[in-house]
Amino acid sequence: MDIKVTVEDGKALVTPEGKLTVATAPELEEAIGTIGEDANALEVDLAGVDYVASAGLRVLVAAQKLMSSRGGSMTISHPADDVYDVFEMTGLSEILTIER
């Protein structure tokens, strides 16, 4: 999995590409961990992700909790239809902020 991280003016953008599976979820978790405490907004752009397993969902929920604990926000953007369907089936579309 290829993951790009940029942080500018308190806003972090994490852009993973590939499949978010049990094997790659730790990479995303590590990338999110690098954004630092200065970031008060996190966007995870899933445009390049075509599959999300439960381990990936766990990382995204943990990131949401992390940002909330800091008084910040997290947005998931551009999920593919199949990925968005996973958020809907699990009920996470009601908990996470998702911009299609």
Mean pLDDT over 68-91 rounds to: 96
* Range of the structural domain that residue 26 is part of: 2-99
Dihedral sign, CA of 71, 47, 53, 85?
positive
Q: Are 11 and 4 spatial neighbours (Cβ–Cβ below 8 Å)?
A: no
Q: Is the pTM value of this prediction over 0.75?
A: yes
The number of domains in the chain is 1
Q: What is the pLDDT of residues 29-52, one digit of tens each?
A: 999 999 988 899 999 999 999 999
Contacts of 81 (CB under 8 A, 6+ apart): none
pLDDT of residue 38: 86
Half-sphere exposure of 29 (CA within 13 A, CB side): 14
- Check which CATH number belongs to the domain holding 15 and give it: 3.30.750.24
State both tokens at 69: 């604990």
